[in-house]
């Protein structure tokens, strides 16, 4: 098995890299198309493999030549071939982004085990970012399914013994400890925020997704990934809060101007006050921030930079 892989690697080194790179790009675009399917269907609990592609407007099945990643969108000018319904430009963008990332992994690592695992991790984590951001959920197919895939890859890695350079291909023991550590940290946060704030600071989806990151990265890089995700989360959290405050301040200022001009009757004041008050209450109620995207960002930072970050921290201490 290892021989087949090393022959494949050798073969890919001898072939013109532009040729291989183009093939990787095409595969990336096809998998980007699959990522679109995951993003669209998983939140609705629809079949992602056997149900053919269909137009969200007229529900007609899309013919294969109308379903070519990136190209079909351009030829059809972003419209359904049957009903002319508008197709979101995010579909070709996701396909292009996936293709570019796959090519980047290929440039960095060639057609190696690392490349294969990075592509798989991308297919799992990219939909998590979009779905969690849009619906505040992380589907079990991606979290639990992702953890199982991570464990399986670790098992293969341990028993076949692939060479690896990045922090995504770990031994099965490290992978299992990673799952354990991830679940433990996020369960602790889940229960402590339930006790302290009487609400879920973190969803169960985040707990399960921590297992995915643990399984893929192993204990130490996963722990760093979680730490980074908290840092990213707080930075973005501050920005979002400040932005919302500024928006509300505008409303309050408009209200005070009315008050100064003294052109409103009393009942008007009560209506406006309750409006401003409700905006605040809404903000408090909806203060749940999707944490999945930060976990994904933390994981990818840890994959590529864990060694630098850890040696930097250790260097500072010693």
Q: Which stretch binds Zn ion (CB under 5 A): 12-20, 72-80, 175-183, 216-224?
A: 72-80
Give yes or no for residue 58 binding Zn ion (CB under 5 A).
yes
Give yes or no for residue 57 binding Zn ion (CB under 5 A).
yes
Taking the least distance from each CB to Zn ion, the nearer of 62 and 309 is: 62
Rg over CA atoms, the chain? 24
Taking the least distance from each CB to Zn ion, the nearer of 80 and 211 is: 80
φ/ψ of residue 79, rounded to 5: -130, 150
Shortest distance (Å) from residue 84 CB to Zn ion = 7
Give yes or no for residue 80 binding Zn ion (CB under 5 A).
yes
Give yes or no for residue 66 binding Zn ion (CB under 5 A).
no
Shortest distance (Å) from residue 33 CB to Zn ion = 17
Question: Mask: binding to Zn ion, 83-112, rule CB under 5 A, as x and -?
Answer: x-x---------------------------
Shortest distance (Å) from residue 53 CB to Zn ion = 11
Q: Can you tell me which residue has the tokens 């409303």? A: 251
Shortest distance (Å) from residue 59 CB to Zn ion = 7
β-partners of residue 79 are 86
Question: Mask: binding to Zn ion, 26-55, rule CB under 5 A, as x and -?
Answer: -----------------------------x
Which residues contribute to the site for Zn ion (CB under 5 A)? Answer: 55, 57-58, 80, 82-83, 85
């Amino acid at each position: 098995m290892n021989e087949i892989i090393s022959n494949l690697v050798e073969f890919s080194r001898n072939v013109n890299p532009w040729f291989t790179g183009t093939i990787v790009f095409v595969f990336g675009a096809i998998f980007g198309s699959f990522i679109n399917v995951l993003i669209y269907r998983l939140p609705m609990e629809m079949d992602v493999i056997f149900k053919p592609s269909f137009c969200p407007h007229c529900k007609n099945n899309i013919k294969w030549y109308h379903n070519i990643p990136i190209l079909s969108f351009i030829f059809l000018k972003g419209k359904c071939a049957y009903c002319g319904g508008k197709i979101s430009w995010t579909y070709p963008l996701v396909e292009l982004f996936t293709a570019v990332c796959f090519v980047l992994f290929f440039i960095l690592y060639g057609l190696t085990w690392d490349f294969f695992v990075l592509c798989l991790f991308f297919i799992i984590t990219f939909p998590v970012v979009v779905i969690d951001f849009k619906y505040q959920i992380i589907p079990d197919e991606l979290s639990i399914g992702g953890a199982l895939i991570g464990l399986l890859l670790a098992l293969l890695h341990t028993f076949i013994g692939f060479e690896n350079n990045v922090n995504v291909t770990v031994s099965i023991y490290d992978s299992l400890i990673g799952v354990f550590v991830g679940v433990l940290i996020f369960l602790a946060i889940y229960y402590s925020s339930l006790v302290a704030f009487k609400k879920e600071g973190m969803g169960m989806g985040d707990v399960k997704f921590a297992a995915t990151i643990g399984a893929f990265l192993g204990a130490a890089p996963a722990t760093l990934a979680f730490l980074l995700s908290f840092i990213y989360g707080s930075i973005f959290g501050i920005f979002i809060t400040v932005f919302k405050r500024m928006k509300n301040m505008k409303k309050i200022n408009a209200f005070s101007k009315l008050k100064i001009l003294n052109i409103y009757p009393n009942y008007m004041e009560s209506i406006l006050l309750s409006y401003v008050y409700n905006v605040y209450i809404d903000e408090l109620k909806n203060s749940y921030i999707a944490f999945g995207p930060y976990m994904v960002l933390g994981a990818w930072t840890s994959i590529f930079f864990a060694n630098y970050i850890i040696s930097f921290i250790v260097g500072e201490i010693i």
